[in-house]
Structure 1
Amino acid sequence: MTAENFDRITMFGADWCRDCIRSKALLERLGVEYDYIDLERVEDGADRAKAISGRTQIPVVVFPDGDHFVEPTDAQLRDKLEGIAA
């Protein structure tokens, strides 16, 4: 894992990725504020995502508590968000 810290939820993804589209849609439906790092537009985005997850799959969703998910299901993402709000 990287020493990079995140003050709010951050998602690394790409517009062509179906899992990224799905996860973004869930975050938006739930009204969650998050930062989006488009791996096609941010030069070091893919390297940063891989440093966090150790993998090349996307999306990588990073939480302020240091946890991260790679290709989360909607249920996993929703459960984590409910845990943060509790």
Structure 2
Amino acid sequence: MTRVWLPPILFLLCGTGLAVGLFLDQNPGTAVVLLLVFVLLAGVNSPLVFPRSIGAAEAKRRSAADGRPVVYWRPGCAYCLRLRMRLGRRARRAHWVDIWRDPEGAAAVRAVNDGNETVPTVVVSGRPHVNPAPAWVHEQLSRPA
């Protein structure tokens, strides 16, 4: 759990430290802007941006029932964030598995990536796709189940 929140906490701490330094140097406007940038970075790197994660076993079960893709991801991954942002509200239609919280999910990703935890890995109809184009995933989510 702490590993999930480490990047956002570091962004907040660094931003706060820099903002305090700028504020003490009589640059309050710059300090506020910098702090807002770091808060935004912390927010987009937090698990709060992603739909609620479920376990790998539950995601596989649901995917088999409704035909929706399973997206294996981890917080702090720029490619996962890019995929999530590009999918917009449609991202909630996929089943998201945080590999840092679910050992079975991490093992599933390693099994299809030569032992590496390369994310995002999207599984559609039992076939894994590593770091697919967001447009392709969007298309998969648009298909009727």
Confirm or deny a common fold (TM above 0.5).
yes
Name the structure 1 match of 2:130: 70
Name the structure 1 match of 2:122: 61
The answer for unaligned runs of 5 or more in structure 2 is 1-59
- Normalization by structure 1: what TM-score? 0.68
- How many residue pairs get aligned? The number is 80
Name the structure 2 match of 1:46: 106
Contact 2:84 2:91 (8 Å CA) reproduced: no
- CA RMSD, aligned part only? 2.5
Distance between the aligned counterparts of 1:59 and 1:11, measured in 2? 6
Deviations 1:7-42 (A, max 9, x none): 231111101101111112233333551111111111
The answer for unaligned runs of 5 or more in structure 1 is none
Q: Which structure shows the higher strand fraction?
A: 1
Which of these two proteins has the greater Rg computed from alpha carbons? 2
State the Cα distance separating 1:79 from its structure 2 match. Answer: 4.1
Distance between the aligned counterparts of 2:101 and 2:73, measured in 1? 10
Q: What secondary structure is seen at the aligned counterpart in 2 of 1:48?
A: helix
Runs ≥4 in structure 1, deviation > 6 angstroms?
none
- Normalization by structure 2: what TM-score? 0.45
